[in-house]
Structure 1
């Protein structure tokens, strides 16, 4: 490790061990990490991780050594966190998740951000692609059971999508190309009449879709900004933390 990596792994990031690994679909893997640090986290559903996945690889730049991933599930009593990682980008993280093994060390730090569970609405619509699926699952499971939740999730191949940790598939899943703004708008208009009372939308994944849908809900539907939550997870012209 170089000097900066030593600071990252000894001061900035916490250490965990990969306890389990399995393939969820043709384009996604799940790992379970274990650490005593997880037991004491100030955790809110919707939080994500900064993970050092290229530590020790001198051929990588520093921005390629840290990736952001959603927390799919957490058991703080046992000190476990589950993370789902998609591989269709074929980037550094995709190669890492294919190659990593049970017993490997990983380095992480939790971040809250603003794309967190929020129970102030009565009805919810969740929209995203494969990259956002585990995050949306986590938020849905964390809402009170009396909330109405609808979901529109897509991938270029439907077999890339996967069930939630409890074995359920609560969202409507579709096979659509990247940035499918017109089909998604059609499906939103079909679902909206089912939403009652105070409504909230979570939009995540492709940054292009996040921008378009944010404008649609604000300008065409006149929803209040606080009830429109967006989180771009990736952009086809960028990588990592760019």
Structure 2
């Protein structure tokens, strides 16, 4: 283990244990991280985890050893955080999610970012692929009651979708190919006319879709920038997109 990794473990990162691992759908695992340190975290809904899943593997670069994952659920009193990780890719994160076991130690740090739950609007539109589903579930649960919610959640195979933590399916799912920007825009045009009051859109997942839709909402629909919340989770031409 390198000197930098030793410092990360000892000083910078918190430690947790995997206490639950469940297959949610054909390609998605629920992984629960538990530790006393989680009881002391003031977690903001929509925050993520920076996880050192490759620490100790000398064949990987330091950048490749760190991955960012959405938090699907949190419980400060019981000291756990739940992740829902898709395993379509062959990257280190997918391999780790498939191979990790109960009792394994993981090193992590919370990452606030800007893609957080905002309860200030009257109506919301959630758009994303499978990689963004758990994150959008978390935000949806924390925008308050009596909100108007519309959604366009897509994946090439519907069997990969999974319910939220309470067993519900609050979003509308669509079986669409990768990077279906034109199809999503057509659906958005039908949907935005039904939204009332102050509006917000959350767009997450494929970076190509995020860029195209941000441009569409800003330049075609003339929404203000603060109404458009965008978070690219992955790019087919990059590894480990943050």
Place the TM-score, normalised by the shorter chain, in its bin.
Answer: over 0.9
TM-score, normalised via structure 1 length: 0.98
C-alpha displacement at 1:143, in angstroms?
A: 1.2
1:155 is aligned to 155
What is the distance in 2 between the residues matched to 1:158 and 1:91? 22
Query: Is the partner of 1:194 in helix, strand or coil?
Result: coil
Query: Is the partner of 1:208 in helix, strand or coil?
Result: helix
What is the distance in 2 between the residues matched to 1:55 and 1:197? 48
> Moved runs in structure 1, 4+ residues, more than 6 A?
none
Alignment check: 8 A CA contact 1:32 1:82 kept: yes
C-alpha displacement at 1:42, in angstroms?
A: 2.2
2:145 is aligned to 145
TM-score, normalised via structure 2 length: 0.98
What is the distance in 1 between the residues matched to 2:161 and 2:190? 22
Ranges in structure 2 where 5+ consecutive residues have no aligned partner: none
What is the distance in 1 between the residues matched to 2:191 and 2:102? 42
Q: C-alpha offsets along residues 158-210 of structure 1, whole Å, 9 cap, x if unaligned?
A: 11111111101111101111110011111111211221111000000000000
Aligned-residue CA RMSD (Å): 0.9
Count of aligned positions: 242
Alignment check: 8 A CA contact 2:46 2:70 kept: yes
Query: Is the partner of 1:178 in helix, strand or coil?
Result: coil
Ranges in structure 1 where 5+ consecutive residues have no aligned partner: none
C-alpha displacement at 1:47, in angstroms?
A: 0.2
Q: C-alpha offsets along residues 37-71 of structure 1, whole Å, 9 cap, x if unaligned?
A: 11111211000000000111111111110000000
Alignment check: 8 A CA contact 2:233 2:241 kept: no
C-alpha displacement at 1:241, in angstroms?
A: 4.7
2:211 is aligned to 211
2:56 is aligned to 56
What is the distance in 2 between the residues matched to 1:192 and 1:24? 31
1:73 is aligned to 73
Alignment check: 8 A CA contact 2:235 2:241 kept: no
What is the distance in 2 between the residues matched to 1:88 and 1:122? 35
Shift of the 237–26 alpha-carbon distance from structure 1 to 2, 3 Å rule, reads same
2:197 is aligned to 197
The 5 A counterparts of 1:1-242 are 1-241=1-241
